[in-house]
Amino acid sequence: MTDRPAELTIDDRTVAVAVAQFAPGDDRVHNRDVVAGLIAVAASRGARLVILPEYASYFTDPLGPSFARNAESLDGDFVGALSAAARENDLFIVAGLVERTEESRKFSNTLVAVAPSGDVVATYRKQHLYDAFGARESEWVVPGALDDPQTFEVDGVTVGLQTCYDLRFPEVTRRLADAGAQLVAVPAEWVRGPLKEFHWSTLLAARAIENTLYLAAADHPPGIGVGLSAVLDPMGVTLAALAETTGVAVAEVSTARVREVRERNPALLLRRYGITPLP
C-alpha cells in the first residue's frame, strides 16, 4: 500500500460533469426552456454529462393533484426536449420528471438518462418516498420497484442513478457501487428545514467516502430547496459547487482517482455484510 498517486493507464478515463441548479415551477414549457439554457451553458463549459434536479419537468409546493394532471410519459414533451438538447450539444443528460402512471391521482418520481443520440439509456423510479419531516410523498407518488441498479456509461465512466431521499438509505448507493458505478448522479429537491443543509452536505460526503466513488447532486435553490448542488470526489472532497442561486458547476471525474482511492481504502473489499431487499 502506498500514498503515492496511482499512475495513469491507457484504460483511465476523465469526464467533465455538470450539476445544474434551478427551481422548476408549474409552467412546463418554461421549465423546458430553462433546462435547455442550462444544458447549453454546461456544454459551453465542456461538460459531457449534465445532471438536473428532481421534478425538473413540473413542481409546485406542496405536492397535490396537479402533479398527476401534469405528468408525462417517457415519450412526452419533456423527455423529447432532453433528447433534442442531448443531440444538439452532444452530451449526456440526467433529469427528474413527473411521469404518468396507471393511477389517476398518482405519478412516478422518475429519473431519465439521455445519450447524445437522443436515446433514453437508463430509467430510475424513486424507491424511498419522502414520508418524513412532516411530508407525505407517498400520498401522491407510486414507489419505484426494487429493480436492479440503474447504470449507464459516459465515455468509459459508469454512472448510477438515485434520487433525493434515497441518500438517507446507504444501501442504495452501495448497490450502485456493487453494480460498478464510479459516479452516482443524485437529482434532488432537498427541502429546507432545521439542520437540513447540514444533513445534505454530510450525507453527500458520507455516500462518496464509504463507497469510494464520485457523487454529483443537483438540487432546487431556496426558498424551497437548500441549493448547495455539488460534485464530490471519492474522498468526499467538494470539487465544484453552487450556493443558493440558479447556475451550473462543472468538475472533472477520473477513473484513475477512483482506482487510487480504492487502493488506499479498500473498504468495499473489506466489508463483511451484503444487502438484501426487505420483503
Catalytic site residues?
Answer: 54, 126, 164
Residue count of the chain, please give it: 279
As a whole number of angstroms, the distance between CA 251 and CA 49 comes to 10
Residue 18's CB is within 10 A of a number of other CB atoms, namely 28
Alpha helices, H only, 179-254: 196-211
* DSSP for 163-194, written as a single string: -GGGGG-HHHHHHHHHTT-SEEEEE---B--T
Q: Cα 138 vs. chain centroid, distance in angstroms?
A: 20
Contacts of 11 (CB under 8 A, 6+ apart): 156, 255
User: DSSP class of residue 104?
Assistant: T
